[in-house]
Amino acid sequence: MNCQDFETLLVDLARQQPVNAGLRERALVHIEVCAGCAARFASERALTAELRALAASLEAAQAPPGLEAALRAAFRGQRAKPAVMWPWWRGAMPIAASFVILVAGAVALLRRAPAPELAPAASQELATEFIPLVYENDVLPAENVQIVRVKLPRTALVSFGLPINEDRAGESVKADVLLGDDGVARAIRFVRQY
């Protein structure tokens, strides 16, 4: 079992949920040899224990007497607002505006001068796909981006679900970070020269 496989079982193991016996055994063997996953497992178990203690302490908590009656009276006192009928073209306006912005972005990209060709490097590189660092689509088509080459500890690969060789865990790895106009990192890819 590798770190990525263990990650899929982590929450169920920490919460002592039913897990296939064979998978459970392989996961327990994995945390004996992988310090990173063992630490994550211990942290998840501690979090589960704290959440269960909090739930137990809140189990007896109740709302003050009369709160339900006051809420019901407040809801009854509100009047429903009548539905407003909008013409069909008002609903189409945001779609048309989005289309205009998309076309403007495409035109801006097409007008850019082509990047100058660089001389081929002496060594070949192998790189992963860019891994997004944000949960939403913050990179707009017309946004200027910059790629910066950095060195990270090899253990950073685990944060992105990539396996690492435990024998080389102390070494560094090269990565390209994609920065937006605002200087915020949008994506990362890992690079290996051979």
> The dihedral of CA 68, 71, 72, 73: what is its sign?
positive
Q: How far apart are the first and last CA of the chain?
A: 28
Instruction: Break the chain into its structural domains and give their ranges.
Output: 3-58, 125-193
Q: What pLDDT, in 10s, does the model give residues 111-141?
A: 665 655 555 555 688 888 888 887 655 555 5
Q: What is the DSSP string of 129-189?
A: PPEESSSS----TT---EEEEEEEETTHHHHTT----GGGTTSEEEEEEEE-TTS-EEEEE
3-class DSSP assignment, residue 91: helix
pLDDT at 115: 56
Work out the average pLDDT over 49-78. 80
**pLDDT tens-digit profile of 100-113?**
787 777 777 666 65
pLDDT band at 79 (very low <50, low <70, confident <90, very high): low
52 to each of 18, 66, 174, how far by Cα in Å?
A: 18, 29, 42
Q: At what angle do helices 35-58 and 21-33 cross, to 10 degrees?
A: 120
Stretch (H or E) spanning 156: helix 156-159
Angle (CA) 141 143 148, round 5°: 115
Please give the pLDDT value at position 122.
55
